[in-house]
Amino acid sequence: MMITKKLWRRNVALYMMFLPVLLFFLVFKYAPMFGFIIAFKDYNFMGGILNSPWVGLKHFNAIFHNPQTLRIIKNTVVLSLLNVVVGFPFPIILALLLNEARKMWFKRVVQTLVYLPHFFSWVIVGGIVLTVFSQQNGVVNHFVQQITGAPFPFLYVEGSWIAIFVSSGIWKEAGFSAIIYLAALTSIDPSLYEAAKLDGAGKWKQIVHVTIPGISSTIMILFILAMGRVMEVGFDQVYMLQNSTVTSVSEVISTYMYKVGLMGAQFSLSTALGLFESMVGLLLILSVNGIARKYDKGLW
C-alpha cells in the first residue's frame, strides 16, 4: 500500500495530464456506444432511445436483403482493400528512401514537403484534386487535350475515379505515416549494418536483411490497425470527390449513413449498418492479430 501511495504521489502530475484524454474518450467514444441499441429498435424522437419499440433484427435483415446496401458494403470493402494493398507500402518505401538520404538539408526539405499534405483538410485537398483533374480547366486535361485533341473525364469514369481516390489518399497521408517508420529505423543497431558490410552485403541486401526485419514489428502493428479499418472509408475524402456519375463505385457506408441516417432520418437503419461495420472491423483485428501472434508480432 505504501508503495502504491508513493507511486501515486510521484506520478500525480502525469495522471492530471492524462485526465483530459480519459474524459474525452469517456464522453465522446464510450458513452455514445449506449446508443447502439437503437439498431434493434424503431427509433423515434418521442420514445427516445429507451422507449422506442423493439424490432429485433429487422434492420439487419433490411441491410442484407437490399441490393443497394450490399453494393455499398462491397464498395467500402473494395476501396479500403485498395487503400491497404496499394497505399500501405508507400510510407515504408518513403521512410527507407529518406533514411538513405545523406544530405541533411535535402532530407529536411523532402520531409517537410511530404508531411505537409497531412495537415490540410479534405476540403482543401479535394479542391486541389478537382482543380487538377477538372474536365474543363484541369491542369492534367490541358496537356491531355494538347496530345489527344480532347479532354478526358477523369472524375466521371469509374476506373479513373478509383485511381484518383486511392492516389490522393496516398499523397495526403504517406508522408505523415512515414514518421512512425523513421522513428523505428532509429532503433536499429548500427553495428548490424557494419557486420553486413563486412559480409559483402550491398545497400539493397542491407535493406532486405537488416532494415526491413528491424522494423517488421512496427509494420505488423500498423498493418493490424489498417485491417481493422477495412470497413471504414473516410467520409470527407469520398464526399468531396464523389459525383452522381460514379455513385455506383463511390457510395460507401459512411456517405450512405450520412444521407440515409441524418438527411433521411432513418436512424435505426444507419445505426445497424454502423454496428455491422464495427463488428467486422473488430473481427478483422482479432483475426490478423491471431495470425501475427504465431510469429510473435501481435498487438497483445
3-state SS, one letter per residue, for 196-209: HHHCCCCHHHHHHH
Distance set, CA 136 to CA 140, 240, 256, 271 (Å): 10, 18, 29, 40
For residue 185, the domain's CATH number is 1.10.3720.10
Residue 142 domain flag = no
Residue 161 lies in a domain: no
Could you identify the residue written with the cell 484534386? 129
Place of cell 474524459: 23
What does the alpha-carbon distance between residue 211 and residue 99 come to, in Å, rounded to a whole number?
10
Q: Report the domain count for the chain.
A: 1
pLDDT digits (tens), the chain, 300 positions? 445 777 788 888 888 999 999 999 999 988 888 888 999 999 888 888 888 889 988 989 988 888 888 899 899 989 998 988 898 999 999 999 888 888 888 888 888 888 888 888 899 999 999 899 988 888 898 888 888 888 899 999 999 999 999 999 999 988 888 988 988 998 888 888 888 888 888 888 998 889 998 898 889 888 888 887 887 787 888 988 988 899 889 999 888 888 888 888 888 888 898 888 888 888 888 888 888 887 777 767
Q: How far apart are CA 126 and CA 117, in angstroms?
A: 11
- pLDDT for residue 108: 86
Is the distance from CB of 214 to CB of 187 less than 8 angstroms?
yes
In a domain, 146, yes or no: no
Alpha-carbon distance of 161 to 181, in angstroms, equals: 30
Q: Dihedral sign for Cα 185, 191, 194, 200, please.
A: negative
102 Cβ contact partners less than 8 Å away, ≥ 6 residues apart: none
276/254 Cα distance (integer angstroms): 12
d(CA 106, CA 206): 22
The structure's pTM equals: 0.84
Domain span at residue 207 reads: 63-120+174-293
Tell me the backbone φ, ψ of residue 41, rounded to 5 degrees: -130, 165
| DSSP per-residue codes, 185-233 | HTTS-HHHHHHHHHTT--HHHHIIIIIHHHTHHHHHHHHHHHHHTTT--
Query: Number of H helices and number of E strands within the chain?
Result: 18, 0
**Domain assignment present for 287:** yes
Distance CA 138, CA 144 (A): 10
For residue 200, give every residue at least 6 positions away whose Cβ sits within 8 Å of its Cβ, in sequence order, or none.
none
Query: In this structure, is residue 159 part of a structural domain?
Result: no
Backbone φ, ψ for residue 252 (5° rounding) = -125, 180
The reply to whether 106 falls in a domain is yes
Q: Which three cell numbers stand for residue 202?
A: 550491398
In the prediction, which pLDDT does 3 show?
Answer: 54
Residue 182 located in a structural domain: yes
User: Does 89 reside within a domain?
Assistant: yes
Grid cell, residue 223, equals 498493418
**Strand runs labelled E in 25-159:** none
pLDDT score at 1 = 47
Q: How high is the pLDDT of residue 254?
A: 87
